[in-house]
Amino acid sequence: MSRWQPDARGRLAQAAMELYGERGFEQTTVAEIATRAGLTERTFFRHFADKREVLFEGAAVLQARLVEGVVTAPEDAAPIEVVAAALRSIAPIFAERRPFARQRRAIIAANPDLQERELIKLAALAAAVTTALHDRGVGEPEASLAAEAGIAVFRVGFERWVAAPHDGPALDEVMGELFRSLAAVVGEAGAG
Amino acid sequence: MSRWQPDARGRLAQAAMELYGERGFEQTTVAEIATRAGLTERTFFRHFADKREVLFEGAAVLQARLVEGVVTAPEDAAPIEVVAAALRSIAPIFAERRPFARQRRAIIAANPDLQERELIKLAALAAAVTTALHDRGVGEPEASLAAEAGIAVFRVGFERWVAAPHDGPALDEVMGELFRSLAAVVGEAGAG
């Protein structure tokens, strides 16, 4: 029944996601996660620092890849193109994970603390992209604006992608469409 | 020496800001704030729910004014113009408060919990603006993108305004300039 590899980490993650969905994040204990996975609490803590890390373990990898995408973008690319290219480069990470992402989204939506953690993650991504743009020689306010615009597209795009059916457009297509919409929306700003 | 009105609320707020700056937010107690203001703890709690509220008491008013600005913007304005007009309408709130804003910014920068609270405040502003745009009949993704872009301009603009000298450009001028920069930055997005 499981599509997870039967490794300890995967079993723990799957058990945790099931329990968070069934009982709520707050109401689930590490002991219950371990029991459902057929493992011990000690094994859980060998793989995850705490309950929350099951939901946020991908954040560091995501940030590293995004920064790498900024660093390796073509030298003559405009700042917003650099950010768009970096976001395209992380889209494949999510390709096979729409069911997980949907499950995760529902768990986070039900818990204010997790929502805060998600906001902090996104703010950290924007800050990392801004710094990587500075390192490419992009000045201010262009670096901050390009990074903030890109993370806004990622956030809105991810929501749309998660809510779409399995055969809907891929995340990079959704984000590409949103970059065009953003250009149209922002381009309507008057001179004031 | 004080430029505050000698009312209890103002004296408490001033005492709190001084102590947060001198000792750090975490290290300051309500008892110390009350003592410095020459008042009692009980009086503090008549005016503020907790220590943090001294720094975030303006959030509700800010959000209400911003939404009012969206509601009352000209009927034929494009979504991003509506958001820009709403942001212009809140700028006067800050006009005389640059020293306070600078002090507040330093206190928040020194404390991760307060930074989180600030992120949550900004996310709530973006969500409120998005909803107010929906109520004007703006669809998705235009409403989310216009709101996110506007709050990004507010965030970046506020930082620049706070860091600028007293006779520097006003907040609404800074934001107007940033809307133009954002249009230029985002307009460079390719068709991909």
Quick one: pLDDT band at residue B167, thresholds 50, 70, 90?
confident
Residue extent(s) of CATH 1.10.357.10 domains in chain A? 58-187
- Residue B129 touches partner A, C-beta closer than 8 Å: no
Distance from CA of A17 to the nearest CA of B (A): 25
The fourth-level CATH superfamily of domain A58-187 is: Tetracycline Repressor, domain 2 (1.10.357.10)
pLDDT score for B190: 60
Quick one: pLDDT band at residue B11, thresholds 50, 70, 90?
very high
* Cβ–Cβ under 8 Å, residues B115 and A116: no
- Residue A163 touches partner B, C-beta closer than 8 Å: no
Quick one: pLDDT band at residue B3, thresholds 50, 70, 90?
very low
CB contact under 8 A, A144 and B123: no
CA distance B41 to B33: 8
What's the predicted TM-score (pTM) here? 0.87
CB contact under 8 A, B182 and A145: yes
Average pLDDT of the residues in B145-173: 93
CB contact under 8 A, B80 and A182: no
Nearest chain A residue to B190 by CA distance is A81
Alpha-carbon dihedral B106, B64, B127, A24, rounded to 10 degrees: 90
Average pLDDT of the residues in B133-156: 96
Span of A153-162, B5-14, B24-33 with lowest mean pLDDT: B5-14
Average pLDDT of the residues in B95-102: 86
ipTM, two decimals: 0.85
Across chain B, mean pLDDT equals 91
Of B123, B178, B190, the CB nearest to A141: B178
Residue extent(s) of CATH 1.10.10.60 domains in chain B? 8-53
Tens digit of pLDDT at every position of chain A (192 positions): 444 446 899 899 999 999 999 999 999 999 999 999 999 999 999 999 999 999 998 888 899 999 999 999 999 999 999 999 999 999 988 888 888 899 999 999 999 889 988 999 999 999 999 999 999 999 999 999 999 999 999 999 999 999 988 888 999 999 999 999 999 999 887 544
Of B84, B123, B156, the CB nearest to A145: B156
**DSSP per residue, A66-135:** HHHHHHTS-TT--HHHHHHHHHHHHHHHHTT-HHHHHHHHHHHHT-HHHHHHHHHHHHHHHHHHHHHHHH
Mutate to test the interface with A, among B145, B153, B171, B174 (most CBs of A within 10 A): B145
Of B80, B123, B188, the CB nearest to A81: B188
Distance from CA of A176 to the nearest CA of B (A): 6
pLDDT tens-digit map of B72-96: 999 999 999 999 999 999 998 888 8
How many angstroms separate the Cα of B47 from the Cα of each of A43, B11, B34, B38?
49, 11, 11, 15
Size of interface A-B (CB pairs under 8 A): 119
Spell out the alpha helix ranges (H) of A24-58.
30-37, 41-47, 53-56
Residue listed under structure tokens 């459902």: A36
CATH architecture of A8-53: Orthogonal Bundle (1.10)
Q: B97 burial class (0-12, 13-18, 19+ CB within 10 angstroms)?
A: middle
